[in-house]
Amino acid sequence: MKYLVTGGAGFIGTNFTRRLAAEADAEIVVLDKLTYAGRRENLADLESSGRIRFFEGDICDPAAAALAMAGADIVVNFAAETHVDRSIDDPSGFVRTDVEGVRVLLEEFRRTAGSLFLQISTDEVYGSVEKGRSREGDPLRPRSPYSASKAGGELLAMSYFTTWGVPVIVTRASNNYGPWQYPEKLIPLFVTNAMEGKDLPLYGDGLNKRDWLFVDDHCSALSAVIGKGRPGSVYNIGSGEEQTNIEVTTSILDLVGADRELIRPVSDRPGHDRRYALDTGLILGELGWRPSVGFREGLARTVKWYEENRAWWEEIKSGRFGEYYRRMYSARLAASGGRD
Ligand code: NAD
Ligand code: TYD
Mean pLDDT of 300-324: 97
- Picking from 31, 18, 11, 5, the residue whose alpha carbon sits closest to that of residue 213 is 11
pLDDT band at 339 (very low <50, low <70, confident <90, very high): confident
What is the pLDDT, as a whole number, of residue 300?
Answer: 98
What is the pLDDT, as a whole number, of residue 296?
Answer: 97
Q: Note the pTM of the prediction, 2 decimals.
A: 0.98
Using the atom order of ligand 1, give the atom closest to the CA of residue 83: 2
List b or e across 220-242, with b for residues whose CB sees 16 or more CB atoms inside 10 angstroms.
bbbebbbeebeeebbbbbbbebb
Structural domains for the chain: 2-177+214-237 (3.40.50.720)
Q: Which residue among 4, 5, 6, 12 is best mutated to probe the pocket of ligand 1, counting the most ligand atoms within 8 A of its Cβ?
A: 12
What is the pLDDT, as a whole number, of residue 132?
Answer: 98
Helices 295-308 and 186-196 cross at an angle (nearest 10°) of 50
pLDDT band at 85 (very low <50, low <70, confident <90, very high): very high
* Cα–Cα distance measured from residue 132 to residue 238, given in angstroms and rounded to the nearest whole number: 14
What is the pLDDT, as a whole number, of residue 340?
Answer: 87
Ligand 2 atom 21 nearest Cα: 186
What is the pLDDT, as a whole number, of residue 11?
Answer: 99
Active site residue 306: no
The one catalytic residue in 126, 146, 235, 325 is: 146
Q: For residue range 217-267, list pLDDT tens digits in order.
A: 999 999 999 999 999 999 999 999 999 999 999 999 999 999 999 999 999
Chain centroid to Cα 140, Å, comes to 19
177 lines ligand 1 (CB under 6 A): no
Active site residue 100: no
CA distances from 42 to 10, 126, 272 (A): 8, 31, 31
Length of the chain equals: 340
What is the pLDDT, as a whole number, of residue 246?
Answer: 98
User: How far, in Å, is the centroid of ligand 2 from the Cα of 25?
Assistant: 38
CB 11 within 8 A of CB 214: no
For the chain, what is the mean pLDDT?
A: 98
Active site residue 123: yes
Mean pLDDT of 89-112: 98
Q: For residue range 152-201, list pLDDT tens digits in order.
A: 999 999 999 999 999 999 999 999 999 999 999 999 999 999 999 999 99
DSSP 8-class letter at 80: S
38 lines ligand 1 (CB under 6 A): yes
What is the pLDDT, as a whole number, of residue 76?
Answer: 99
What is the pLDDT, as a whole number, of residue 170?
Answer: 99
Element (H, E) at 237: strand 234-237
Ligand 1 atom 25 nearest Cα: 11
Closest ligand to C-alpha of residue 188 is 2
What is the pLDDT, as a whole number, of residue 258?
Answer: 98
> Phi then psi for 30, rounded to 5 degrees?
-110, 130
Ligand 1 atom 17 nearest Cα: 58
pLDDT band at 294 (very low <50, low <70, confident <90, very high): very high
Q: For residue range 207-217, list pLDDT tens digits in order.
A: 999 999 999 99
Residue 125 φ/ψ region, left for φ over 0, alpha for ψ in the -120 to 50 degree band, beta for the rest: alpha
Q: For residue range 22-80, list pLDDT tens digits in order.
A: 999 999 999 999 999 999 999 999 999 999 999 999 999 999 999 999 999 999 999 99
pLDDT band at 103 (very low <50, low <70, confident <90, very high): very high
The one catalytic residue in 123, 211, 216, 273 is: 123
